[in-house]
């Protein structure tokens, strides 16, 4: 608790922050499945108009493995996008949680922590989760 606040991400790149956050979430249960990697790439392609996000995903994996905490990712996203776009970040995160067909306690814990850090209410996050589960 006495540790200094984390610095902002070097270039404020919300793209890398989002990807790293998705990677952290996918790795939370100790298994980083191919379906999760594919889903991360699909989300990044759709969100940023890319045709291939494999290199971006690899950069995000590297960033995630070097970052000591999740706060720097959420801060970069919160500072860069409005509330509606943060809702879409929560949607992307629920897509990753549910990609492998099961919810893990570690993934749920990250979701409960990250939503408020992004300024997203529990009610909005829960509504998004229910919608995503209904699409599966």
DSSP string for 69-95:
-SHHHHHHHHHHS-HHHHHHHHHHHHH
pLDDT, the chain, mean: 87
User: Is 3 contained in some domain?
Assistant: no
Number of domains in the chain: 1
User: Is 44 contained in some domain?
Assistant: yes
| Residue 12 backbone class (left: φ over 0; alpha: ψ -120 to 50; beta: rest) | left
Say which residue the tokens 């000591």 belong to.
68
User: Is 2 contained in some domain?
Assistant: no
* Domain around 62: 14-135
- Give residue-wise pLDDT tens across range 65-102: 998 888 888 988 888 888 999 999 999 999 999 988 88
User: Is 1 contained in some domain?
Assistant: no
Predicted pLDDT at 9: 41
């Amino acid at each position: 608790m006495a540790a200094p606040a984390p610095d902002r991400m070097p270039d404020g790149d919300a793209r890398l922050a989002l990807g790293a956050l998705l990677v952290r979430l996918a790795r939370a249960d100790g298994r980083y499945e191919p379906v999760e990697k594919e889903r991360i790439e699909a989300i990044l392609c759709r969100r940023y108009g890319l045709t291939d996000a494999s290199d971006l995903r690899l950069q995000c994996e590297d960033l995630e493995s070097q970052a000591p905490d999740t706060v720097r990712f959420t801060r970069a996203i919160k500072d860069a996008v409005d509330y509606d776009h943060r809702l879409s970040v929560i949607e992307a995160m629920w897509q990753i949680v549910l990609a492998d067909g099961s919810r893990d306690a570690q993934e749920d814990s990250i979701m409960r922590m990250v939503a408020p850090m992004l300024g997203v209410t529990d009610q909005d996050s829960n509504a998004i989760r229910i919608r995503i589960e209904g699409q599966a």
